[in-house]
Amino acid sequence: MNGHTPVTHSYDYDLIVIGGGSGGLAAAKEAAKYEKKVMVLDFVTPTPLGNSWGLGGTCVNVGCIPKKLMHQAALLGQALEDSRKFGWQFTEAVEHNWMTMTESVQNYIGSLNWGYRVALREKKVTYENAYGEFVAPHTVKATNKRGVEKLYTAERFLIATGERPRYLGIPGDKEYCISSDDLFSLPYCPGKTLVVGASYVALECAGFLAGLGLDVTVMVRSILLRGFDQDIANKIGEYMEEHGIKFIREFVPIKVEQIEEGTPGRLKVTAKSTKGNEIIEGEYNTVLLAIGRDACTRNIGLDKVGVRINEKTGKIPVNDEEQTNVPYIYAVGDILQDKLELTPVAIQAGRLLIRRLYGGATSKCDYVNVPTTVFTPLEYGACGYSEETAVEKFGEENIEVYHSHFWPLEWTVPSRDNNKCYAKIICNIQDNERVIGFHVLGPNAGEVTQGFAAAIKCGMTKEQLDSTIGIHPVCAEVFTTLSVTKRSGESTLLSGC
C-alpha cells in the first residue's frame, strides 16, 4: 500500500471521500495536509418525516452531540431539585421548555456545520452536497438535490457513509413514528412517549425524556444493551424503573395507528408478545423507534466496482488497513464489519489510514480496549471485556471480578440513590491479575473511564491499581480500594465516606 508506483492515469482527484461524517471529514482534512487533491461528497437522504441536516454526519447532527446536551438538560433538572437541600430557595414551580432547549441545541449544531465547511475550504478540500455512487472503476456519479448529475474520477476512494435508523416494517411505522434522526429537532414537546428498543440509543433517549418530566415507556423485545455487560445493563434498567420509566418486556409492536392529528397527536400502538399470542394496546403522543441501525452501503453502486459486502448486514469486510477487496477502495466507521460503531474510532481509523497512504506511516487503528460511555440517567462507562465475554474467553476459574457499590458525596445531602452507583473490574488471574475489563455506573462515567482507559492500554494490573492513591472525595477513588471479589459473595454495599 505504501510506496505504490506512480499512476499513469489522469484522475480528477487523488482521493474522493463518500460521506461527510466524523470519519470521512477527519480523513479528508488529513489528506489535505499532504497536499493531495481531495473531494468530499455528502448527502443526507431526508427521514420519512422529511428531516435532514448539514455537514458533519450522525454524531454532530443527530447523535452524540444533541444527545449529550439533552442528557445535560435532564441532569440540570435533577440538580435544581437537589439544590433545595443545599440551601437554594426558589418558590416558582420549575418547568421545562422543549422549544428553548431544541432551539439552543440546533443553534450550536448549526455553528458546527458551518465550522466544518469553513475548515474544508481553508484546507482546499472540494465539498459537494451531493449523493455519491460508483458507476465504473475509479468513477463516481454525484447527484445534487436538484437532480443534477456529475461524474468524477479518483485514484483512491474512501467510503464513510455511516448508518441510518432501522424501521420495524409494520403498518404505520414510517408514517407515524419518529427515530433519533427526528427527535433532536422535533418542533414540539413529544409528550407521552413510547420508546421501542433496548439499544443504548433507546435507553439514553428514554432517560433524558423522563428527566425532562415526560411520561416514558420502553418496549423491549428481549435483553437490555445487547453486547454490553449484562450485570450493569440490568442495574441500569432497575435504576430507570425506580425513577419512573415504565418497561414493557418481551413485546414487539405490530401496528401503529393515528387516533388524532396534532403536535403531538395521539397514536394507538398494538403489540404482540414474543413468548406467545398475547396482544396489548397502548395510547401515546409519540412513538420513538430505536431498534438498531443499517449500514448505508446498498445504494452506492458497490456492485458496479466489485466491493464485497455482508449480504445480511450490509457491512463491509476490510483488512487490518481498512482496505476492501478492491485495492483502491477503503472504508471506515460504522459500516465496517465486526468493528466498533463509535465516532472517535472512525476519526482515528480515518486519520491513520491517510497517514499510511500518503505519509509513509505504519500505525494501524487499534480496535481493542476502546472506552465508551452510555449516557443513561445513571451513566455507564466501560473499557475492555464484559464479564460474560471474559468468562467465555478465559474461563470462569481464570478471572477475578472485584466490585463495589458507592455513593457520590454530592448525592448524600439530598439523600438520594444510595448504593446505586457501582464499580467493577475484571482481572485475568493467569496474567498477573491484569485488568481486562473496567465498568463504572455513576455520574461523569465518561470522564472517569477515559482516564482509566489509558492505564488499561498500558497493561494496568490490580496491584498497580491498589498502589495508586485515590483522590478524596471523588467517585473514581473507589477503583483504588476494591477488595471484595464476586466469588466471595460478600456484600458490596457501602456506608459513610
Please report the DSSP string for 430-461 in residue order: GGTTEEEEEEEESTTHHHHHHHHHHHHHTT-B
- Indicate if the pLDDT at residue 36 is higher than 70: yes
Order across the sheet with 216-220: list the strands: 178-179, 286-289, 193-196, 216-220, 246-249
Q: Position of cell 427515530?
A: 179
Report the alpha-carbon distance of residue 241 to residue 246 in Å, rounded: 6
Report the alpha-carbon distance of residue 112 to residue 141 in Å, rounded: 27
pLDDT in tens, 310-325: 999 999 999 999 999 9
Grid coordinates given for 3: 510506496
Paired residues of 294 in beta bridges: 164
472 an active-site residue?
Answer: yes
What's the mean pLDDT in 452-462?
98
Report the alpha-carbon distance of residue 402 to residue 481 in Å, rounded: 10
- pLDDT at position 495 is 66
- pLDDT at position 2 is 46
- How far apart, in Å, do the first and last CA atoms of the chain sit? 56
pLDDT in tens, 125-156: 999 999 999 999 999 999 999 999 999 999 99
Report the alpha-carbon distance of residue 319 to residue 328 in Å, rounded: 13
Report the alpha-carbon distance of residue 111 to residue 61 in Å, rounded: 11
Closest to 103 measured CA to CA, from 190, 179, 187:
187
Distances (CA, A) of 346 to 237, 296, 318, 322: 29, 15, 14, 11
- Indicate if the pLDDT at residue 196 is higher than 60: yes
Number of H helices, E strands in the chain: 14, 22
Distances (CA, A) of 391 to 386, 405, 424: 9, 22, 15
Backbone angles phi, psi at 345, to 5 degrees: -70, -45
Q: Which region among 85-94, 178-187, 431-440, 478-487 has the lowest average model confidence (pLDDT)?
A: 85-94
- Indicate if the pLDDT at residue 275 is higher than 60: yes
Which residue type sits at 105?
V
Q: What are the b/e assignments for 204-240, b being 16+ CB within 10 Å?
A: bbbbbbbbbebebbbbbeeebbeebbebbbebbbebb
Confidence of residue 5 (pLDDT cuts 50, 70, 90): very low
CA dihedral defined by 339, 340, 342, 345, rounded to 10 degrees?
-60
What count of other Cβ atoms lies within 10 Å of the Cβ of residue 292?
A: 15
Grid coordinates given for 484: 471484595
Confidence of residue 496 (pLDDT cuts 50, 70, 90): low
Q: Are 289 and 165 in contact (CB under 8 A)?
A: yes
Q: Are 210 and 77 in contact (CB under 8 A)?
A: no
Which residue type sits at 269?
V
% of the chain residues with pLDDT over 90: 96
- pLDDT at position 3 is 45
- pLDDT at position 203 is 98
Report the alpha-carbon distance of residue 311 to residue 96 in Å, rounded: 45
- Cα of 270 vs its chain's centroid, Å: 29
What's the mean pLDDT in 397-413?
97
% of the chain residues with pLDDT over 70: 98
Q: Position of cell 482546499?
A: 124
Before 473, cis peptide (omega within 30)? yes
What's the mean pLDDT in 49-73?
98
Instruction: Enumerate long-range contacts of 408-411, CB under 8 Å, 24 or more apart.
Output: 408/442, 408/443, 408/475, 409/473, 409/497, 410/82, 410/443, 411/82
Report the alpha-carbon distance of residue 458 to residue 454 in Å, rounded: 6
Q: Are 220 and 196 in contact (CB under 8 A)?
A: no
What's the mean pLDDT in 208-222?
98
- pLDDT at position 4 is 47
- Indicate if the pLDDT at residue 1 is higher than 50: no
pLDDT in tens, 176-192: 999 999 999 999 999 99
What's the mean pLDDT in 430-448?
98
pLDDT in tens, 321-339: 999 999 999 999 999 999 9
Q: Are 460 and 454 in contact (CB under 8 A)?
A: no
Paired residues of 134 in beta bridges: 140
pLDDT, the chain, mean: 96
